[in-house]
């Protein structure tokens, strides 16, 4: 009888242990609406993680910003209600400011430059972000932001006379616009649509796909066809939550999310070109700045980057590194 009870006890403990291992659900917040390509791809990747870990690791995503803005998401991560999130550079900058280095103003002139620099910089950003307490599971290309506006933005004076939006908490954007002599209006992304409709804001930097996805194009008329800054999407999990996973499950999670985000980057590049065509079809007029304006913008932007380094907004070593890689690419051309 005693042996029977012992065997039963061991069985109960074993079942409880297995059930606990299988019940590990990692919760992520995202602004991406349900039903988008992003959500479809990320859910497919989550299914692969579940299958490859035998159900030990499950990923649950809360789409459409239902978990609130970036500040709310980070607060919920701290208390354990969430384990991570999908962020823009701005959204993750409060954890590691250097993550914004790929999005510095007027830094890149082509996607070829981006591809070359990212071969060297992505691994650095992952290492530094992990040191700051978060593991970067994926970095996907968002494409170039361009100026979407109610009036044509052909020169700096037109920008200065417009009500320009900057994302809430975007210290890089604030520094750049102030350097351009512009006092921007800071709003959460969720408030931009209403802001454009009411006239609170008139000009927004955005990539073509987001302009359509968020319906911002419906309240604007022009897009300035000049790359302003490069955008990325980031999937990050708090390191303390990641470290609780078995080593083999950590590998699976990283492999599958890296695969998904590489795929998303490829799709985003295609989608942004298609979105530009769609914007034209829906009445958006594409304009170019006046002669000499682009160089003028670049000169002021470079000075703004130097100001960010001096004020501590951006790490000097990181800015120096990315500029060095960029110059190396241009020298080869």
Lowest-confidence segment of 43-52, 172-181, 243-252 by average pLDDT: 172-181
pLDDT of residue 306: 95
- 226 φψ region: left (φ > 0), alpha (ψ -120 to 50), beta (else): beta
Which strand (E) or helix (H) includes residue 121? helix 111-131
Band of residue 5 on the pLDDT scale cut at 50, 70, 90? very low
pLDDT of residue 18: 41
Helix, strand, or coil here: 24? strand
pLDDT of residue 206: 97
Q: How many domains does the chain have?
A: 1
More confident of the two residues 17 and 289 = 289
Band of residue 231 on the pLDDT scale cut at 50, 70, 90? very high
Two tokens, residue 190: 């969720």
pLDDT of 8 higher than 50: no
Digit-coded pLDDT (tens) for 214-227: 999 999 999 999 99
Question: Exposure string (b/e) for 193-218, b if CB count within 10 Å is 16 or more?
Answer: eebbeeeebbbbbbbbbbbbbbebbe
Band of residue 127 on the pLDDT scale cut at 50, 70, 90? very high
pLDDT of residue 35: 85
pLDDT of residue 221: 98
pLDDT of residue 171: 87
Digit-coded pLDDT (tens) for 36-89: 888 999 999 999 999 999 999 999 999 988 999 889 999 999 999 999 999 999
Q: 226 φ, ψ to 5°?
A: -130, 130
Over residues 189-213, mean pLDDT: 95
Q: Which residue has 């993750």 as its token pair?
A: 92
Distance CA 49, CA 54 (A): 8
Q: Which residue has 């960029």 as its token pair?
A: 326
Q: Fill in the DSSP letter of residue 31.
A: S
pLDDT of residue 37: 85
Distance CA 157, CA 209 (A): 27
Helix, strand, or coil here: 239? helix
Two tokens, residue 155: 């020169």
CB-based contacts of 176, cutoff 8 Å, min separation 6: 105, 301, 304
- The reply to whether the predicted model has a pTM over 0.85 is yes
- 20 φψ region: left (φ > 0), alpha (ψ -120 to 50), beta (else): alpha
Band of residue 17 on the pLDDT scale cut at 50, 70, 90? very low
| Mean pLDDT computed over every residue of the chain | 91
pLDDT of residue 320: 97
User: Distance of CA 46 to CAs 125, 236, 247, 257, 269, Å?
Assistant: 23, 14, 18, 8, 23
What one-character-per-residue DSSP string does 64-88 give?
A: TTTT-SHHHHHHHHHTTS-SEEEE-
Question: Residue 9: which CATH number?
Answer: 3.40.190.170
Two tokens, residue 36: 């988008």
Where in the sequence is the domain holding 321, given as residue range(s)? 2-332
Q: Where are the beta strands (DSSP E) in the chain?
A: 24-29, 57-62, 84-87, 134-149, 165-167, 185-187, 203-206, 222-238, 285-287
pLDDT of residue 21: 46
The answer to whether 129 and 92 have CB atoms below 8 angstroms apart is yes
More confident of the two residues 32 and 17 = 32
């Amino acid at each position: 009888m005693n042996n029977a009870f012992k065997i039963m006890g061991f069985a109960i403990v074993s079942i409880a242990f297995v059930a606990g291992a299988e019940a590990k659900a990692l919760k992520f917040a995202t602004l991406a609406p349900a039903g988008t390509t992003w959500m479809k791809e990320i859910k497919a990747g989550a299914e692969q993680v579940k299958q490859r870990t035998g159900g030990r690791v499950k990923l649950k995503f809360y789409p459409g910003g239902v978990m609130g803005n970036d500040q709310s998401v980070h607060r919920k991560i701290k208390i354990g209600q969430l384990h991570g999130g999908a962020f823009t550079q701005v959204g993750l900058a409060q954890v590691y400011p250097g993550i914004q280095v790929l999005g510095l103003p007027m830094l890149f002139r082509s996607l070829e430059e981006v591809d070359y620099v990212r071969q060297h910089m992505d691994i650095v950003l992952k290492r530094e972000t992990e040191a700051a307490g978060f593991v970067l599971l994926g970095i996907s290309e968002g494409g170039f932001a361009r100026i979407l506006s109610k009036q044509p933005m052909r020169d700096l004076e037109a920008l200065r006379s417009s009500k320009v939006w900057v994302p809430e908490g975007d210290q890089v954007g604030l520094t750049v616009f102030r350097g351009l002599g512009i006092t921007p209006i800071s709003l959460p992304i969720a408030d931009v649509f209403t802001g454009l409709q009411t006239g609170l804001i008139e000009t927004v930097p955005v990539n073509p796909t987001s302009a359509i996805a968020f319906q911002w194009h419906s309240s604007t008329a022009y897009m300035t066809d000049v790359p302003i800054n490069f955008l990325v999407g980031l999937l990050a999990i708090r390191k303390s939550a990641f470290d609780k996973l078995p080593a083999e499950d950590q590998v699976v999670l990283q492999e599958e999310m890296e695969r998904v985000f590489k795929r998303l980057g490829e799709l985003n590049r295609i989608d942004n070109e298609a979105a530009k065509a769609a914007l034209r079809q829906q009445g958006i007029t594409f304009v170019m700045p006046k002669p000499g304006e682009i160089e003028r913008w670049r000169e002021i932007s470079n000075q703004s980057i130097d100001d960010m380094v001096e004020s501590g907004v951006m790490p000097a070593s990181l800015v120096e590194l990315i500029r060095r890689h960029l110059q190396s690419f241009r020298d080869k051309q």
